[in-house]
Chain A
């Protein structure tokens, strides 16, 4: 018998594809967020609000993942930007190959894009294992869920570049301690950035838009710096 040390990430093939996606995203100065939440936390409505905010000449494209149906793509297509539905056909998360294949099928001109939004399948567990080449994982938690969600799903919340607490317009109707929720986010991810918004009423969405613009400006800056050096 012969033991061979391998020491290799199980998802190294996914990571390899994610890295090549990441390189393409960086070279084109695109900001690419990967939106992750449980089903029904408001990812699609937040995206609708976001798309409605952009001037029509902004370079925006959206990939939206679901196990079945193209309902979300239909909702998002109303805003005039290119949208592609990824139907995973049973899989509970997007992986890098699905994103690569979707980009190949659409043949979007990446050089003209400012933002590439990826809406993951509604699930707080599995999407955290699969890098998609994104700049940030953005985790959305709604006040109709428990404030202990960050403690129950530390893998996801600890990898979040931003946590958005959504549906704050419902705070008065539900037993959700927002202070406690933010404390729990900080426990699993010290220093995490948190925004409190309502995609329904539009409350604090200006902060979300400002965050996106700041991130995109950083990506454009990185590209021009790379071009000079």
Chain B
């Protein structure tokens, strides 16, 4: 529902980054979206494409989806949560810590030097 606002923030941030490199053109925007970020990747892509529609050489969007993963402090296993099961699948420890899945990050931009 708030993906249009997020898409606007993404485009603003990417264009600001491009401006730091005068004479370049924004080709691609790389995003990292976590499973628990509260943002739907398909909806965000739809909004992003609507925003750049009609502009010359519209930038493309690449989304890296990050699953919710936890790490076990006892044995070091990193595992994706299935059915919200947070106990370590290797050693059974109960107090595992989230390591990914909350991301909503601009990872990179690709620029063409003109």
Contacts of A146 in B (CB 8 A): none
Q: How far is the CA of A8 from the CA of B106 in the complex (A)?
A: 5
A91-B36 contact given A2-B111, A151-B84, CB 8 Å threshold:
no
Q: Which among A13, A125, A155 has the greatest number of chain B C-beta atoms within 10 A?
A: A155
CA distance A7 to B113 in the complex (A): 21
Q: Does A5 reach chain B (CB closer than 8 Å)? A: yes
Q: Which residues of B have CB within 8 Å of A4?
A: 17, 21, 108-111
Asked whether B1 lies within 8 Å of A125 as measured between CB atoms, the reply is yes
- Is B108 a contact partner of A129 (Cβ separation < 8 A)? no
Q: Which residues of A are found within 8 Å of B14, using beta-carbon distances? A: 6
> What residues of B have a CB within 8 angstroms of the CB of A126 in the complex?
1-2, 38
B89: min CB distance to chain A, Å: 16
The number of chain B residues touching the other chain, given as a range, is: 20 to 34
Interface residues of B in 93-114 (CB under 8 A from A): 95, 102, 104-113
User: Which of B4-12, B50-58, B71-79 faces chain A?
Assistant: B4-12
Tell whether A26 is near chain B: CB-to-CB under 8 Å: no
**A123 near B1 (CB under 8 angstroms)?**
yes
- B105 CB contact (under 8 Å) in A10, A93, A151, A154: A10
In the bound complex, do residue A129 and residue B6 qualify as a contact, i.e. CB atoms below 8 Å apart?
yes
Residues in A with CB closer than 8 Å to B112 are 1-2
- The 8 A CB mask of B1-44 against A (1 = contact, 0 = none) is 11001100110011001000100100100010000111100000
Q: From residue B83, how far is it (CB to closest CB) to chain A in Å?
A: 8
Cross-interface CB contact of A6 among B9, B38, B39, B108, cutoff 8 Å: B108
> Mind listing 28 A-B residue pairs with CB under 8 Å?
A1-B110, A1-B111, A2-B110, A2-B113, A3-B108, A3-B110, A4-B17, A4-B108, A6-B107, A6-B108, A7-B106, A7-B107, A7-B108, A8-B105, A8-B106, A9-B104, A10-B10, A11-B104, A91-B2, A91-B5, A95-B5, A123-B1, A126-B2, A128-B38, A129-B39, A154-B68, A158-B36, A188-B84
